[in-house]
Amino acid sequence: MVFLIFLFLSGLVSGVKIPTLKAAEQAVTAHLENIERNTIKTIKTKDADIFDCVDIYKQPAFSHPLLKDHKLQMNPSSYPMVIGNDHHHGNTENESNGDENCPEGTVPVHRLPKDVILKSTPSRSSRSILQINHFFRPPFYHKYVAEVRKNDSITYGAAANLNVYAVPDVGPNQVSSSRIQVMNPAAGAYLAGGWTVNPKLFNDTNTRLFVTWSGDTDGLFQECYNMLCPGFVQINTKVKLGMILKHVSLFNGPQITFKIYIFNDGRDGNWWLAFKTPSNVIGYWPRKLFRNFANASELRYGGYTSCRLGETCPAMGSGRRPSQKHDHSCFFIEVQYLDVNKNVHQVSDEQHIPFANQKDCYDVGKYLHYSGGGEAFGFGFGGPKCKM
């Protein structure tokens, strides 16, 4: 009944013909069948996650209508170049957690149940559900950020070292993440990557590696996670989008971080994602997915939570408000941007614009001094569970 009302209202507001759940279901079924058909091998991780090793040429991205004639790229034309020293801070996440890798010629695709996909990230052709979600999200959900923004110039990507935490008590319809975000609002596009605790998507509260992105090639807003809707082209056989980040930091204890890069390849305009080092690329978003997304006009680094109206919202970061101490609040360090030549620069003090939309709950603090293996400046962010 509730669903019928949604359908009705959706038809009303969008002015399109009333969409059907059936169409969405068919799209998701086709998506899953396509993966199944092209799976060469299936990996079960120690945590009982399933990853299908899919033929690299037949991975989900290539069912996107705009990528029909896309030629697979195995590498960017060049890699980000760090100017000066890049410091290493604490221990870094393990790339494959000791789990099996996919064989050459295949790429790992996280297997999730059909109803989860249908609920959370509708495929491209299921506009119906998408419009329903889009229309009904704002009044029902709060979205909070505590982040640093850089927007005073055109850049070609972002990089940062992200501190990793477990976030207990994230409710079934809630999210708590830490991510870098590369945006061009004029082009209606953004790309984000980092870690997330997202029970709606993953049916647990593990901290996981994720990307989310939105393009706007046909005036249709869509928000995609990992490879749940076609678009992201994976080339790495090891690094699994959606994988559990097992090593998490402890308050007053050892700190775990990982570095992530999102950068544009000036040669062909594709946007690349790299994990830990600039050359360890996971894959890329082809230029064609976007309308005129040749550069970034804004970069964001920090925490994000989402919760329903009236609920107690989940903790952000380490669950503590920003602190000068690197082992108290969750932090970002090596906060960087890329210029047109893929040179990596530190975001300067003057370029750090702290922003939090609910400071009573979550905040961002400038200037964290961290001397674990070299001097660098970053920032702390976050806060405990919070009822607005």
**Contact residue for ligand NAG among 50, 81, 186, 250 (CB under 6 A):** 186
**Contact residue for ligand NAG among 33, 355, 369, 374 (CB under 6 A):** 355
d(CA 196, CA 187) in angstroms, rounded, equals 25
Considering the complex, state which of residue 72 and residue 116 has its C-beta at the smaller distance from ligand NAG.
116
Considering the complex, state which of residue 37 and residue 114 has its C-beta at the smaller distance from ligand NAG.
114
Q: Does 50 bind ligand NAG (CB under 6 A)?
A: no
Compute the half-sphere exposure of residue 50: CA atoms within 13 Å on the CB side of its CA.
Answer: 10
293-322 footprint of ligand NAG as x/- string (CB under 6 A): -xx---------------------------
Q: Residue 113's CB: how many other CB atoms inside 10 A?
A: 10
Q: Does 279 bind ligand NAG (CB under 6 A)?
A: no
The answer to whether the beta carbons of residues 20 and 128 sit under 8 Å apart is yes
Burial class (CB in 10 A: 0-12, 13-18, 19+), 230: buried
Q: Does 21 bind ligand NAG (CB under 6 A)?
A: no
Q: Which segment (3-11, 81-89, 290-298, 329-337) binds ligand NAG by CB under 6 A?
A: 290-298
d(CA 380, CA 363) in angstroms, rounded, equals 9
Q: Does 75 bind ligand NAG (CB under 6 A)?
A: no
88-127 footprint of ligand NAG as x/- string (CB under 6 A): ------x---x--------------x--x-----------
- Sign for the pseudo-dihedral over CA of 106, 112, 117, 118: positive
Q: Which segment (31-39, 77-85, 292-300, 327-335) binds ligand NAG by CB under 6 A?
A: 292-300
CB burial of 64-79 (b: ≥16 within 10 Å; e: otherwise) equals bebbeebeebeebeeb
Q: How many residues bind to ligand NAG according to rule CB under 6 A?
A: 17
Considering the complex, state which of residue 62 and residue 144 has its C-beta at the smaller distance from ligand NAG.
144
Taking alpha carbons only, the member of 167, 192, 202, 161 closest to residue 362 is: 167
At residue 136, what is the residue type?
F
Q: Which segment (11-19, 38-46, 136-144, 179-187) binds ligand NAG by CB under 6 A?
A: 179-187
Q: Does 187 bind ligand NAG (CB under 6 A)?
A: yes
Measured CA angle at 320 (ends 314, 322), to 5 deg: 120
d(CA 207, CA 244) in angstroms, rounded, equals 6
Whole-number CA gyration radius for the chain: 20
Considering the complex, state which of residue 7 and residue 118 has its C-beta at the smaller distance from ligand NAG.
118
Residue in the block written with tokens 């969409």:
19
**Contact residue for ligand NAG among 34, 120, 237, 292 (CB under 6 A):** 292
CB burial of 285-310 (b: ≥16 within 10 Å; e: otherwise) equals bbbbbbeebebbebbbbbbbbbbeee
134-173 footprint of ligand NAG as x/- string (CB under 6 A): ---------------x-x--x-------------------
Q: Does 348 bind ligand NAG (CB under 6 A)?
A: no
Binding residues among 209-248 for ligand NAG as defined by CB under 6 A: 247
Q: How far is the CB of 247 from ligand NAG (least distance, A)?
A: 6
d(CA 355, CA 364) in angstroms, rounded, equals 7
Q: Which segment (15-23, 67-75, 131-139, 289-297) binds ligand NAG by CB under 6 A?
A: 289-297
Q: How far is the CB of 187 from ligand NAG (least distance, A)?
A: 4
Q: Does 254 bind ligand NAG (CB under 6 A)?
A: no
Annotate 238-260 with DSSP letters as a single string: S--TT-B------TTS--EEEEE
d(CA 14, CA 33) in angstroms, rounded, equals 30
Taking alpha carbons only, the member of 224, 306, 316, 277 closest to residue 82 is: 277
Position closest to ligand NAG via CB? 98
Residue in the block written with tokens 């199944």:
36
d(CA 3, CA 126) in angstroms, rounded, equals 15
Q: Does 205 bind ligand NAG (CB under 6 A)?
A: no
Instruction: Summarize as ranges the residues that interact with ligand NAG (CB under 6 A).
Output: 94, 98, 113, 116, 149, 151, 154, 184, 186-187, 203, 247, 292, 294-295, 353, 355
